[in-house]
Amino acid sequence: MRRDPLGYLAAELDTLRQQGLYRHLRIVDGEQKATATVDHRQVVNLSSNNYLGLTTHPRLRERAIEATRRLGVGSGSVRTIAGTMAIHVELERRLAAFKKTEAVVVFQSGFAANAGTVSAVLTKDDVVVSDELNHASIIDGCRLSRATIKIFPHKDVDRARTVLAALPAGQRKLLITDGVFSMDGDLGALPELVALAEEFGCIMMVDDAHASGVFGRNGRGTIDHFEMHGRVDIQVGTLSKAFGALGGYVAGSRALIDFLYHRARPFLFSTSHPPAVAAACIAALDVLEQEPHLIDRLWENARFFKSGLEGLGFNTGLSQSPITPVIVGDGALAMRLSDRLFAEGVFAQGIAFPTVAHDRARVRTIVTAGHTRGELQFALDVFSKVGRELGII
Ligand SMILES: Cc1ncc(COP(=O)(O)O)c(C=O)c1O
């Protein structure tokens, strides 16, 4: 009889079960909204990145349907062969104007944008200097590039400076940070790092996945928020979170984007978006420009919910964005908290190692513009009840 060569995977899964860290995929039945039916239960949804409620916005929906009727369901090819449709170019033109850069290239996801870009612009002779909490897609891009990776402690600009100062003059180097950190909701040390990049002649790159549609004028991101236009060489954004659809993009100089057209592997070797996705993203840009009250509502909701959690006595870390972690430390406790919240009608995902450090496990909450005050108050009441029950507050 054939021995199962993947047998060790089942053993690893058993270990996760014993540690209380095994997760099954929760199923959203119906639309992805502020309240949703998840695993057949009606819940207040604090787990999505649908910051502005655009996943179900009528304008995006209509434009996606119209594009499907007019252009079909697929692009049929990678961009460099035959998969660049006029609607892809229109989206890139609109995004470049929005971001105030010379050009933009759109990737299939934010992950592909980060990993594809870092690995394309660096070689094994280069150095990348990266915040320890940068997103997995940046870490993978760094590894793929084979450049030397130097990690500095989270937002520790002095340590980043020490690393840079020790490098030989003339060394090509990339300094990289998230604009908003996805697990803690705090902002990257952007002004300080940009100044450092200028002092040491680094390429400066910012991943604005969680800032797109959330920070800056009309959701232009942290570079706009900190008024750093023209000082960041590579800006990554996502179309999968506040934009409500799917994709990632890189904004920068014409030369950078032309280079990525030739060297970024997800661009060269993976099929481009269906026309419906590109159309929905163009509609999302229209909404950001014409319905800025959605961003105002997101921030009102974020302030209300964050101060409610803090008032109850939870440890919400150093969040500065609509992402608010409820940090409990132990991984199994975070999963128990998440499960009890769910049973009481609140969906907030537990997050443990390896996504966060062993002793920093948490439940992560994200409010959206689509939540009503009543829904957020309900969620706070449930947090209060379950937090006391588990001895967290
Ligand atoms: C900081 C950060 N960068 C990049 C990504 C990847 O974006 P996408 O979901 O569009 O692949 C994410 C999403 O999880 C993220 O949190």
Q: Are 273 and 139 in contact (CB under 8 A)?
A: no
Distance in Å, CA 243 to ligand 1 centroid: 12
Residues tagged active-site: 182, 210, 241
Q: In the structure, what pLDDT confidence band is assigned to residue 332 with cuts at 50, 70 and 90?
A: very high
- Of 188, 135, 222, 180, residue with least CA distance to 321: 180
Tokens for 263?
A: 């060297």
Task: Reply yes or no on whether the pLDDT at 1 is more than 80.
Answer: no
Nearest CA to ligand 1 atom 16: 182
Can you tell me the mean pLDDT for 189-218?
A: 98
Distance in Å, CA 111 to ligand 1 centroid: 6
Distance in Å, CA 1 to ligand 1 centroid: 43
Q: In the structure, what pLDDT confidence band is assigned to residue 354 with cuts at 50, 70 and 90?
A: confident
The pLDDT score that the predictor gives to residue 21 is 80
Can you tell me the mean pLDDT for 52-66?
A: 98
Burial level of 71, CB count in 10 A (0-12/13-18/19+)? middle
Q: Are 319 and 78 in contact (CB under 8 A)?
A: no
Please give the Cα distance from 32 to 35 (Å, whole number): 8
From residue 283, give the alpha-carbon distance in Å to each of 68, 83, 364: 14, 21, 29
Q: Relative to the CA of 248, which ligand 1 atom is closest? A: 10
Residue 237 pairs with which residues in a beta bridge? 249
The pLDDT score that the predictor gives to residue 235 is 98
Please give the Cα distance from 338 to 43 (Å, whole number): 12
Q: Are 284 and 290 in contact (CB under 8 A)?
A: no
Nearest CA to ligand 1 atom 7: 110
Q: Three-state SS across 296-333? A: HHHHHHHHHHHHHHHHHCCCCCCCCCCEEEEEEECHHH
Give per-residue pLDDT as tens, 273-303: 999 999 999 999 999 999 999 999 999 999 9
The pLDDT score that the predictor gives to residue 2 is 85
